[in-house]
A = this chain, B = another copy of it.
Amino acid sequence: MKVGFIGLGAMGSAMASNLVAAGHQVTVWNRSQAASEKLASLGAKVASTPDRAVQGEVVHSMLSNDQAVRELFLDGGLLGAMDPGTVHVNHATISIALARQLAEEHAKHGLSYVAAPVFGRPDVAAAGKLNILVAGQASAIEKARPLLELMAGKIWPMGELPERANVVKLAGNFMIVTAIESMAEASTLAKAYGVSTHDFLELMTSTLFASPVYQVYGKSIAEQRFQPPGFALPLGLKDVMLAQDAGHAAKVPMPLAGVLRDSLLEALADGAESMDLSALARVSERRANLDKRKKDG
């Protein structure tokens, strides 16, 4: 199939590679050139401007936030550059407000819009094992399905309203950050009584909480290894705030989200800008002043 792919960060590159490897004619575009060259070496065609990358039957995009999506597709006029009937599959984690606006604008341009946010890190994307949430018109999803199946371990249908896939992604990321804050507070408590964080989290993450999220972030916390970030802390804050925005628009109080927001802000105020989400553990320890007390005691 003739396919376009916009946005070649760590996730987008891995996803696009799987399409190329399966023999599709993929035209890619990325803001910076380096990522495109890697895809070119695998057999992709590199577009010099974004509008040339949206000529396929299906166009995927994997951009980093609302602003990037808005700049290219709404302000930048990419919707007008696509042929009517094109299916745009948007993998980005975006706000509900933008999800609604995109659905409307695509309809105005006679385009099909599928929201398809994903769960999984770059290594999972490379292995074609992502969990992909899809929402949009059934016919559009069917057209994109062969491509999605190249990227996905499993495809999770969420209905026709695109925003539903987005709210599930935000709710899921909220659960991830909560899990990390929970490990941070619990292991600080245990540590204050002399139990090593490593012992505590090994127990928890190999028994009651033996699941990927707890194991991946629990390992970072136990080893105090917060760089390089797997899931950058500022992005985690962005997603918690998008979940809060979604809660605000629907009048859904989320008291845990309020706690997460403040802990993440406190982490940033303490210099965690380039650290992983698991650096929330530093905030818990700082609040309890464990290091300082150890020295004094």
Contacts and interface: CB of A to CB of B under 8 A. Distances in A.
Contacts of A185: 174, 252, 254-257
Contact of A194 (B159, B188, B293): B159
A163 interface: yes
Interface of A: 96, 119, 131, 133, 154, 156, 158-159, 161, 163-164, 167-168, 170-172, 174-176, 178-179, 181-183, 185-190, 192-195, 199-200, 203-204, 207-214, 241, 243-244, 246-248, 250-259, 261-263, 265-266, 268-270, 284, 287-289, 293
Nearest to A135: B195
Q: Which of A187, A253, A284 has the most CB of B within 10 A?
A: A253
Tell me what chain A mostly uses at the interface: helix, strand, loop, or mixed. helix
Given A131-B207, A174-B182, A178-B178, A253 B287 contact: yes
A172 B186 contact: yes
A257 B182 CA distance: 9
Contacts of A131: 203, 207-208
Contacts of A257: 185
A192 B256 CA distance: 17
Contact of A269 (B133, B241, B288): B288
A179 B176 contact: no
Contact of A262 (B158, B171, B189, B255): B255
